Amino acid sequence: MGKQIENVLFVCTGNICRSPFAQCLFNKILAQRGLKDVTAASAGLLALPDNSATHLAHKVASEHGVDLAEHRAKSVSEDLVAWSDLILVMEKSQEDALLSAFPTAAGKVLLLRHFARHGSRRRGIADPYGLQYEAYRFCFLDILDSVSGLAEYLCGRSIAFDPIDVRSYEGYKAHESPRSFVWAGQTFTITGIVDRWYEGSRDETSAAMDYFKVEVDDGRTFIIRYNRLFDSWAILVP
């Protein structure tokens, strides 16, 4: 896989749960991190063309600021395989099926969890189809961890954060409304929150992160994050 990765294809079974999660999450992260030279698509090995994402997939995605309303299922094809520089599947059996059906995919198929930041990189991502809400939520967070790791890999460097002191709006929880921060001996006043997102489990005992893309008083924008477990703030080093 020596070629530069520009086109990423996420593949699952029906293209109505896991691969749409991965595609839409990845596109959101690409936009947040300014990675403009990468394009993502998704497809299913047994997809029924034009099917929409499942109701619970819509529900869980929307709770995390991801919109699946425009998604329509499509099948893996020779054209999609040829277009792709990297093909990411959810389970080992899907890799085997894909390579059997499309031998030209050899050398560019990996498990999506190959890029996971936490836990085993060899296991699959379970299909939530036909199961309850919690199965969908766990699947979504599992995919979020993996596509976040993929984005970091494609950035070509490890993402470095420096600790900072943050002052928040009085009366709010620390991670709800940052107002200013001190970094490298300088105080920056936050004039606007451009975007915000969340990574990790909702369990307060784990390392859940709240991210903010903020504009400061000198016109620059920064990404800062709050670690709920350690009650600490850090800034993405430009």
Give per-10-residue mean pLDDT for the chain (238 aa). Answer: 78 98 94 85 97 97 94 97 96 96 93 89 94 97 94 68 83 71 92 82 55 91 83 81
Question: All domains of the chain, ordered by start, with CATH?
Answer: 7-154 (3.40.50.2300), 161-236 (no CATH)
pLDDT of residue 205: 40
Burial 77-106 (b: 16+ CB within 10 A, else e): eeebbeebebbbbbbeebbebbbeebeebe
Which residue is associated with the tokens 């020779």?
A: 78
- By the 10 Å C-beta count (0-12 exposed, 13-18 middle, 19+ buried), 227 is classed as middle
pLDDT digits (tens, 9 = 90+) for 134-189: 999 999 999 999 999 998 888 754 456 788 999 887 655 556 789 999 998 899 99
Type of residue found at 47:
A
pLDDT of residue 160: 65
Lookup: tokens for 220: 């620059």
**Which residues are tagged catalytic?**
12, 18, 127
Contact residues for 212 (Cβ-Cβ < 8 A; gap 6+):
178, 193, 195, 196, 223, 224, 225, 226
pLDDT of residue 4: 76
Task: At 54, give phi and psi (nearest 5°).
Answer: -65, 160
Contact residues for 18 (Cβ-Cβ < 8 A; gap 6+):
10, 12, 90, 125, 127, 128, 139, 143
